[in-house]
A and B are shown apart, each in its own frame.
Chain A
Amino acid sequence: EAGVTQFPSHSVIEKGQTVTLRCDPISGHDNLYWYRRVMGKEIKFLLHFVKESKQDESGMPNNRFLAERTGGTYSTLKVQPAELEDSGVYFCASSRQGIWSGNTIYFGEGSWLTVV
């Protein structure tokens, strides 16, 4: 079974530009999550999709971030315009069911974003 796949693995963009990160969850996983880790800090929740619907987007930092999951398969996270503080690693994760006893979520390797 293929794992969670993220693209690109690394991206360097200038402040003010746009970047789109893509995530392909594990096949059959209805739940898809975005997290990010800025330099040396904790991994922070951004949002949670159930199929194509946003279940929880309480972690989205501001309206420069837009996540979509059309058709309930892959997801994209767009940052427009990018700011220096957006630099970090963006992790996508997926799970067959939600997080409760006996279940867990599986993370991709992350997309490293550097804004210069």
Chain B
Amino acid sequence: DQQVKQNSPSLSVQEGRISILNCDYTNSMFDYFLWYKKYPAEGPTFLISISSIKDKNEDGRFTVFLNKSAKHLSLHIVPSQPGDSAVYFCAASDAGGTSYGKLTFGQGTILTVHP
């Protein structure tokens, strides 16, 4: 039962262009969403998050959009840089519930940014 899905296993983008990574979820109890970036042989690194009371959060080149009615979120990276090449994980939490420490992850999307 995959509650968080990243349907694109990989994405290839030219440097300077926009990267859009997508994530869908099924559990309506999720109220906090995060994006993590992971390089090979390293642990996931926090990128950006959004609470369910918002529909957009920006941090520099990274913007996360949340569409609660569609149970969909996306991460936009503008402009994309070769150093952004990594695996990106979407994660969700029922932060207001008893499992407030549990993140449910998607399968990840491999982003490759070409110079």
Output the least CB separation between B64 and chain A (Å).
Answer: 13
Q: How far is the CA of A109 from the CA of B99 in the complex (A)?
A: 24
Contacts A99-B93, A104-B34 hold; do A45 and B104 have CB atoms under 8 A apart? yes
Residues of A within 8 A of B53 (CB): 101
Across the interface, A98 reaches (CB within 8 A) one of B2, B42, B45, B95, namely: B95
Given A42-B106, A101-B51, A104-B49, decide whether A56 and B101 contact each other with a Cβ distance below 8 A: yes
| Cα-based distance from A98 to B103 in the complex (angstroms) | 11
Bound complex: CA A106 to CA B47 (Å): 11
Verify B105–A107 contact, CB threshold 8 A. no
Interface band, chain B: 20 to 34
Cα distance A44–B107 in the bound complex, in angstroms: 10
Number of residue pairs across A and B with beta carbons under 8 Å?
Answer: 75
A99, B103: Cβ atoms under 8 Å? yes
Nearest Cβ on chain B to A27's Cβ, whole angstroms = 17
Indicate if B17 sits at the interface (CB-CB under 8 A). no
Closest to B90 in A: A42
C-alpha spacing A108/B51, complex, angstroms: 24
Q: Pick from B45, B91, B101 the residue with the most CB of A within 10 Å.
A: B101
Answer whether residue A33 sits at the interface, using C-beta atoms and an 8 A cutoff: yes
| Residue of A with least CB distance to B47 | A104
Known: A45-B104, A99-B103, A105-B103. A56 touches B42 (CB 8 A): no
In angstroms, Cα B93 to Cα A45, docked, is: 11
Q: Contact check, B32 vs A99: say whether CB atoms are below 8 A apart.
A: yes
A and B contact pairs by CB, cutoff 8 A, 23 listed:
A33-B101, A42-B106, A42-B107, A45-B104, A48-B99, A48-B101, A55-B101, A58-B99, A59-B102, A91-B44, A98-B101, A99-B95, A99-B101, A100-B96, A101-B32, A101-B51, A101-B95, A104-B34, A104-B46, A105-B46, A108-B43, A110-B42, A110-B43
Chain A positions within 8 Å of B, measured between CB atoms, are 4, 31, 33, 35, 41-45, 48, 50, 55-56, 58-59, 91, 93, 95, 98-101, 104-110
- 7 smallest CB-CB distances across A and B, nearest first, come from A107-B43, A48-B101, A100-B95, A101-B51, A43-B105, A104-B46, A98-B100
